[in-house]
Structure 1
Amino acid sequence: MEEWTATFAPPSDEEIAQLARSSRTNLSLPYASKGEESPETQADLEEAWRRYVEIYFRMLTLRRLPTPDEVAELERIARRRLHQSVELVDLQRAFRAGARLLLTLALERVAPQDAGAVATATLKFADIMSTAAERAYLDEQRSLAETHRDVAATLALRLLRREISPSDPALEDGPAHRFEFGRPYTLVEIASAVSSGVRRAAQQAAPARLSSSLRGILPFALEVCPAPDTVVLVVPGDSATGLVRLLSDAISAKPEFADIRIGIAAPQVGLRKLVTAHEQATRARALGEILVPAVRVHRWEEMEKIDVFARGDSIVGLVESFVGPLIDHDRRKGTQLTKTLATFLDTGGNRKAAAGKLTIHINTLDYRLRQIRGLLGEDSISPGHFTLHLALRLYPLYESRPEAAAARVGR
């Protein structure tokens, strides 16, 4: 900083306190003049302004810019302003108005020939402090937003896992969780295709990788992972058609997403409708894989029109009658017999092709087929067994039922 040509007469601590008290009422700042602050906030505002004045005059007295500790102190003050509901524009206005007032007070204490140097120092002071305060305010705002998003995501996850009921009083639609469930939103479910056989680690991770790649395109979407191989996105807005195009382009861009299938629910309003939206998205994805396997992104509003299996009881009866023992064995033993048989029949009974698709050795396939025969009977692996094959094709719909999803989560 420039040296003064004459002696600078710094104010005493008592004078600084008096200056702070008298000058703050002249700032006419929106958050300082409404008279709506609590006594604690009022005291904090007054102390912050006193420190601002003190740091400023210390800078002029010692002829040096604010120290890192002094800047850090103003940053902490800026972070508190966010929690006191002070808008950033008001905070910035406070620094500008405060700097002008401080310059007026300082010019009363310096020789006329030093006025230019004091003005330059004041501009630097205001720039340093306002920049630091703005940065701290925005950092605190981002941190707070992330915390609130975590709360919203945890609440949504508990709801999708049926840990809390949609009728729970805690499920308010307002902005309390910083996600506007009171406005239209569209739920998207991303998972690997069931018909792709046993889900290898790479396949299980693919939905999460796709979701990560979408963050730049859907920055305001709420991400929830109800199962290790499934990602749910809650996207603000009701443009399901636009989401179909966006998601179709995203999964077509990389071979690693070849096995990804996506279901999109009808737009909903209200946190309590999240479960309904999830059921729609899950069923749309499962129906699409069965009825139109060449398409990879499915809207519930379209799939509902061709849902020839609308009565879930008939699906449950058919699937459990023909492959119930396999499903029970898989759940108890952690095996993959149901998917193994489905893959074997899908490949027309070609053992080499089935083993390749399942990424297992052909001897492992033969061992599983012997287990399947033992559970279902000798003719169970015949490619000509139409009803059994149909039951296996309906297995994704069977698994998409809420009670089946709950059973998977509990395993």
Structure 2
Amino acid sequence: MVEDTIPGGRWEIGPKFRRKLVTDHNRIVFGGMPLHLRLSSQLPELTAFVIKRLVDGLDVYNQLPAEELSGDIARIIEQAVRTFLEVLRTGTLPEPVDLAIVRESAARRAEEGLPIDAVIGAYHVGAQACFDFVEPEVQPDDLRSVLEAHRLLSDFLRLTTGAVAAGYLSERQSMFGDEHGARQTLLATLLAGGQSADIPGARLAESYFVISLSIGKHPDETVAGVDPGIAGRRKLRRLRTELDRRSREPVLSMLSTDGGLVLIPHHLPSASVSKEDWASLDVLATALSKVAGAPVVAGAVAAEPAGVPAAARLAGELRDVALIYAKPVGVYRLADLLLEYQLTRPSPARDHLASLLAPVADRPDLLPTLRVFLDSGLNRRQTATTLRVHPNTVDYRLRKIATLTGLQVARHEDLLSIRAALSALDATTVRG
């Protein structure tokens, strides 16, 4: 065993290279109280102090969403401080297993795209902040304690930054590792119409839910001063995690922060997909919207491997139709959008239908009233309440529409034409 001495104690270096300070650790005193007790009693204040130092001292942390700073970043700071307090209390440096949360946090920062120098630098900034936090209460007699605490902190930082580097680099490698590459190769092959024979060792599912996603913006992506790229990647990481969690087989995906394509394996042929299976996709869309913190609207088609290319095109068209008609969060099949889909296909019939409402298309009072009236189930009083006008005003506007277009909402045959014309008008307006 090798020994080294410092004021007030002795270092012992054991066979596992764990360094233990053989001393009375209650002698590491700042301002008349053992340092580990003083810091633990002020842990919330110390955590907030460290966060402020990170934001003020490192530009990349200044651009993080407030949600992340008060959540994940605050938790890792508090845990790191607690681990160091245990070092102060016992004089024993942590084992690798004790630094698991540090490695996991570094992996998340890698996935979000933070540079490694900023991630490692945050621990040094935090260490300095801890000393600055207690400095006003340091007495002249505390010099030996300062030296002992600094020695402990230096060794603790050496281990911690090593764990940070290991977690960060491991995640970066996994992001571009063999499994990721295999999934992307399989996805590319399916989209090109290839079969399992084209991919050595690949096993294709009986069928796939081919889902084209539109992902809205998380509020943090529009907050001034927040880096939208980081906020978007955090949203995407949560979404990918949820996709994998809800599937028994590896999910194939090609996603960006605003959407993309997902293939979810299914164990039955597409013709055997049940209503419950489709309903589960709506549940999935709700879950994805929740974890992403943004609306997720999608078009979906079930297809065998050979049909994936055509299914991907149709799913993308269904997604676009759902967006054109401002559909709520959900996964939409062709059966859900038959009329809307047909009316978005260019044709003389669509143009003629849209022209039926052309006389009122530019009237800011008439067309909105017609929309609300149809959405309310032809309830004039509810329409009046929604628009904050008198019911007689609603009646007047509907009569005006009838005069200008020749279509009366009270006639069943006209009502069908009005609904179709409104859908055609929306399609041609958005496409135009």
Taking structure 1 as the reference length, the TM-score comes to 0.36
More strand by share: 2
Instruction: Name the larger-Rg structure.
Output: 1
Taking structure 2 as the reference length, the TM-score comes to 0.35
